Structure 1
């Protein structure tokens, strides 16, 4: 036997390899598909992993029972085509299925289960049949050798699917085109199986291929109910979309609004909470003392652009996702401002830099995707170490100000209080709803009162009127029932749990009470 013959795979062996690629590819992709509606918490990922394992196990079991009488190349063709056809249906109706499953009255931590089961259970179940069918058709001698060979091929396929989807497909293609690739591979494998078998027609495979192409074309028309899609991609970290509605351009990350820009006035604060980033200029004894500012988390660069345009301060941004930085430059005009960007995680940057800052703005939290390493006391201690003696920090926390959904906000308040001298809270929306809550922390112990802030707001020319923001001033935050978050115990997912399924309200700012200087300078990159 030649070396080529030794490593040549039969049709069924190719099928089991591809089933591994497809099942793991769909599993990795499921996290991106489910996240915009249900978040990407540990509960979401636990549900995805459990459903895929359950569907595969059921397919193995039923397929094993039927393999002795039904295992043929033709049946493998139909299993692959059935998987590809279901993927085409996900391209057509995936968004509607995702939204329809959100109404099930389940505890928040189980809310994503119906969506995962309905969207990914059936194709994974079909793929589960392929391994026992291939073992039955194997030319290997003995059950042990045949089954071991088949499951080795399937596992290698899963490794290829995991690496290929994670490191190539998701950073390169949109969800629709990743579906097309995974479905197309199944169709090509079905054609490979059908080609030498005169008893198996290739027409069904051609029909499914046309269905996939039609679904892909229909699903890429460039418009959603949210507006005109200017740009969309899957980055290494998240789904990213740029969507225009009238003069407002919005950056969506994993389906959630993250930043917005008035295209005719690029430094105007469209979202109310970004106005609160200016509060430290009222807390400072002298606003001119804020010379160096760091933003952790870039998004559409709403805050950094305004600070660079408004103040005589050096502005740095630490943003972990290079695609977000590129999009900020190309679609949100960040390249017109004197901003230095470090493309790395905020904690890593602070650990490695020798810079000292007068203000650190922490804008890397999302409603359901909070990097716990940026929430802990150890991180807050690191922030204080990188601040000047009179330095301050602002944390943009998404939570409710009261009730069960307030646990993360109150835990973060308690954690910052353990590292800073004083912490002040400023809710941006109505009572009881999930919203942006801005925490302002100072190194000094001296308390700044609401009255002092109001007086300074009237006297100081900081380019923005913060009277409405000051009205939400509070230092009376209950923290006896929440933990200080630490590196070895930061139950962020549990604290966020009560917010799942609740409406997140982002207040939009009204034009006015702002000055908008003409931007100068350029965007610099480091790291």
Structure 2
């Protein structure tokens, strides 16, 4: 049981911190490091404790304390994460993980050496006992990882999963007290403490029902395998925000049925500006379906690849998504590229998630795969987020170099607000046809769209490198930009 709980807490810990600190390798490295450190300390102190006395009551007291601590992480995770936003991402991630998860994981890790000593009657059998208990614990960890990854996360909020885990551990400790202790009175204090912890966790979950945010009222929230999904409405307006782990992914006007986000107009517009005739299109990343729907309404046959199936019902309910307009494939974009035999006039790559990019879709090999599914003269149009100032341009410079290693021509349109659009083709030179009437553009975004069309820029190749499947260090070298972006977005979504 403890082995399963340890893996659940390890995975769930990273998920709980993701809305504030992101999902970069820094966050996962911190969580894995803290888990392994906890195991080391837990094994050591568990061995020392059992050598002083083989009273199982000590072990179950440790389990009970761990459970209560886990209950306390529910109301404190957000507060701790916001404090850690003031630090460098690597430092903040490790400190948040240490404070929230090191104590309970260390207490749970004491189980192994404690049980080995208690169950071993002679030195002759210690090897077998250690092997059997290690095997059972590892199988429990496998079960915990499978349970949370394939069953619980898609259907329950992170806070509820943590509370369930803590409640099971509380129950385990109380069963021992009642079943194996002669006096029922010895179970009263643990019972009160356990119930108090669970009560605090329940109260925190109910408090999460507070739907007042700086940007508006929360209409929808759901956990998913790829982050927490939210829909918020700006107070007193028909404007809806779609957010993933507190990062705004799109904006929609329910009264006029149009996008309030500049990038949707640019992806659709640049596809037409650089592709004379679009009969077929592939969109990697659906979002709420605005760009693929526009291409389909233009008469193109559209395939859409979306990795997060939980987005589909959300987009249908709030953003007028009509999946009959295109063929929707739930899966990974790279996998689809490797399997498909279809060819397209344009590929729209919009799988960027705020402070993190899907690195396996931003490499020379990935762009070569995209080039393989494009018809001769076809166009790749990509949305990303980056900066061109010296010292902040590693990501965009690397993307341009990588695209240039796979395509004959590359052009960059910069919005000046962070959104960057890259166009690539196997043609010797890209031919740009200026867009016609822009009356369909949401008026407050018109200036930004017009500026992005005419602002064609380039990078200094020496400031980046060709990104490959084998070596793609963007997370590290672009960390400062992503920290800044994530911090601003997380603070803007802080509940009132």
TM-score by length of 1: 0.82
Structure (1/2) with the larger helix percentage = 2
| Contact in 2 for aligned 1:91/1:219 (Cα 8 Å) | no
Q: 2:484 aligns with which of 488, 502, 509?
A: 502
Q: Deviations over 1:192-233 (max 9, x none)?
A: 111121343143333333333333333344555554333323
Instruction: Determine the structure 1 residue equivalent to 2:494.
Output: none
Of residues 321, 340, 343 in structure 2, which corresponds to 1:353? 340
Question: What's the CA shift for 1:49?
Answer: 1.0
* Matched-pair contact (CA < 8 Å) for 1:228–1:243: yes
The aligned residue for residue 271 of structure 1 is 261
Distance 1:74 1:210, change over 3 A: farther
Unaligned runs of 5+ in 1: 1-17, 507-527
Cα shift readout 1:122-141 (whole Å, capped 9, x = no counterpart): 11122122333333432644
Structure 2 matches for 1:68-147, cutoff 5 A?
Answer: 68-104=51-87, 106=88, 108-138=89-119, 140-142=121-123, 143-147=126-130
Q: What is the aligned partner in structure 2 of residue 325 from structure 1?
A: 312
> Alpha-carbon deviations, 1:160-215, whole Å to 9, x = none?
21111111111221111111111111111012111121343143333333333333
- Tell me how many residue pairs correspond in the alignment: 472
Distance in 2 (alpha carbons) for counterparts of 1:182 and 1:226: 33
Shift of the 81–296 alpha-carbon distance from structure 1 to 2, 3 Å rule, reads same
Structure 2 unaligned segments of length 5 or more: list them: 490-496
Q: Does 1:188 align with 2:178?
A: no
Q: Which residue of 1 aligns with 2:187?
A: 201
Q: Which moved more, 1:111-120 or 1:234-243?
A: 234-243
Q: CA deviation at 1:462?
A: 8.4
Residues 1:93 and 1:226: Cα distance change in structure 2 (over 3 Å): farther
Partner SS, residue 405 of structure 1: coil
Distance change (3 Å), C-alpha of 1:352 and 1:194 = same
The answer to which of 213-222 and 183-192 deviates more is: 213-222
Q: 2:202 aligns with which of 209, 213, 224?
A: 213
Evaluate the alpha carbon distance shift between residue 155 and residue 355 of structure 1 in structure 2; reply closer, same or farther with a 3 A threshold: closer
Output the TM-score relative to the length of structure 2: 0.87
1:315 aligns with 2:302: yes
RMSD of aligned alpha carbons: 2.6
Residue pair 2:275, 2:378 contacting (<8 A) in 1 also = no
Check whether the contact 2:30–2:90 (CA below 8 A) recurs between aligned residues.
no
Q: How does 1:417-436 map to 2 (within 5 A)?
A: 417-430=404-417, 435-436=418-419
Distance 1:248 1:35, change over 3 A: same
Mapping for residues 319-468 of structure 1, pairs under 5 Å: 319-335=306-322, 338-430=325-417, 435-448=418-431, 456-457=434-435, 459=436, 463-464=440-441, 466-468=449-451
How far, CA to CA, are the matches of 1:129 and 1:236 in structure 2?
30
- Contact map agreement 1:360 1:393 (CA 8 A) in 2: yes
